[in-house]
Amino acid sequence: MAYIIDNGWYEGYEGPKRSSYIIEEKKIAYVGKRLSKISYMRMDISPYFISSGRIYVHTQKEFYTPTKEKERELIQLGYTTVVLPLWISSFKKLQYELKKAAHCMINSTLDYLIGVYIPFHLLTPAFIRTCRRFNVPFICVDITMDTAFENSAWGWLRQANFPNPIPLYPVWNGIEEREHDVVKKRWSEILRDHHLPTVNNILNEKKDLHEDAVMQIGLYPIKGALLVGSDLDYALYDRLVDEQGKILYDSTKPKLVVLREKVLMAGENTFLQPGFGRKIDISIAGRFSSLHTLP
């Protein structure tokens, strides 16, 4: 049954604004300001700010485990999706590790996306072609002070990654602070010159998946947005703003957290749903993305 989530505040480019959403089959079917003439059942959220469900990135090499404690912690912060870079140390283990990781997540409450995280020497045309065959949505690459990434065969990597390239994201490991900006800039230039999508930090300032990465990977607009076609993943917050009028999402717990219309948190109560989490498969990477974002 279709219904309306009505009069929610959200953070617009010029400050807080209001919007309403028509919901059909656990997705957003329409977004607008004036829905008063539509006679659907309504859920009034005018006292609250609404935000799309947050996207958590597990950045450690040890694989994420969806324990009750960890999932409760994430839900209470407004997360509805988990992005998992899976550490792969050997080319031969790629398929096995991907299957193993998917099996480990079958009891997840949250939706999840599995990519790979590799040492730089595994970044070869053959590895990229294999990742494409297994629909790997992104590749994180371990970069240290000793990584000579400038000398790699980027032309061959680009060719193997064409069309709809898999995004490549650096993980800066032990880079000296005085060298950090130089190394990041050089990485940006090389990947931009070879038309390979990247951002210099997969996390944004809130420690969520970077907005450009959401688009490059192909999660947008299904996740990380409240647009037509988006999954109904959202959180409601008290209307707290700072002196500049920006919404203070980080300083307050959400009052309500919803994943695909399923309530995961209401007030002080958290409702784990083992097995409800869905593995996200990306068919076409970066349908709405720009290729590159410079630091």
**Cβ atoms 97, 86 nearer than 8 A:** yes
Q: What is residue 1's predicted lDDT score, i.e. its pLDDT?
A: 86
- The reported pLDDT for the residue numbered 290 is 53
Query: How many beta carbons lie within 10 A of that of residue 244, not counting itself?
Result: 6
From 185, 217, 249, give the residue that closes a domain: 217
Residues 152 and 182 in one domain: yes
For 229-269, the DSSP string reads T-BS-EEEEE--B-TTS-B--TTS--SEEEETTEEEEETTE
Q: What confidence score (pLDDT) does residue 21 get?
A: 98
Domain match, 119 and 69 both: yes
pLDDT grade for 248, boundaries at 50, 70 and 90: low
Whether residue 186 contacts residue 150, with contact meaning beta carbons closer than 8 Å, is answered with yes
In this structure, the answer to whether residues 179 and 102 fall within a common structural domain is: yes
pLDDT of 247 > 80? The answer is: no
Is residue 37 scored above 70 in pLDDT? yes
Q: Do the domain assignments include residue 111?
A: yes
> What does the pLDDT look like over 64-97, one tens digit per residue?
999 999 999 999 999 999 999 999 999 999 999 9
What gap in Å lies between CA 134 and CA 10, rounded to an integer?
Answer: 37
Nearest to 247 by CA among 76, 31, 15: 15
Pairwise CA distance, residues 102 & 224, whole Å: 22
Within a domain: residue 282? Answer: no
Q: Which two tokens stand for residue 180?
A: 């950090």
Position of tokens 């000793």? 146
Same domain, 47 and 158: no
In a domain, residue 244? The reply is yes
Do 108 and 153 reside in the same domain of the chain? yes
- Is position 113 within any domain? yes
Q: With residue 143 as reference, give the H or E element that holds it.
A: strand 139-143
Name the pLDDT band for 243 (thresholds 50, 70, 90): low
Is the domain of 126 the same as that of 165? yes
- The predicted-structure confidence for 102-129, as pLDDT tens digits, reads as follows 999 999 999 999 999 999 999 999 999 9
How is 217-236 classified by DSSP, letter by letter?
Answer: HT-TTTSS--STT-BS-EEE
Same domain as 93, residue 194: yes
Residue 12's domain comprises 3-53+222-270
With tokens 């309504």, the residue in question is 42
Using the predicted structure, report yes or no on whether residue 245 has a pLDDT greater than 70.
no
Q: CA 4 to CA 54: how far, in whole Å?
A: 22
Of 174, 196, 217, which marks where a domain is finished?
217
| Total domains in the fold of the chain | 2
Residue 294 confidence (pLDDT): 37
Q: What is the pTM of this model?
A: 0.92
Mean pLDDT of 25-46: 92
Query: 185: phi > 0 → left, psi -120 to 50 → alpha, else beta; which?
Result: alpha
Are both 103 and 241 inside the same structural domain? Answer: no
260-280 pLDDT tens trace = 999 999 999 999 999 999 999
Structural domain contains residue 292: no
pLDDT of residue 204: 84
Note whether 200 and 93 are same-domain residues.
yes
Q: Do 20 and 83 belong to one domain?
A: no
In this structure, what CATH number is given to the domain that contains residue 252? 2.30.40.10
The pLDDT > 70 percentage for the chain reads 93
Residue 64 lies in a domain: yes
Q: pLDDT value at position 105?
A: 97
Structural domain contains residue 291: no
* SS3 state of residue 66: coil
Residue 161 has pLDDT above 90, yes or no: yes
Q: Are residues 157 and 205 in the same domain?
A: yes
Q: Which of 252, 232, 229 is nearest to 241 (CA)?
A: 252
- Tell me what the mean pLDDT of segment 55-71 comes to: 94
At residue 251's C-alpha, the angle toward residues 247 and 255, to 5°, is 80
> Rounded distance, CA 11 to CA 188, Å?
30
Q: Are residues 95 and 233 part of one domain? A: no
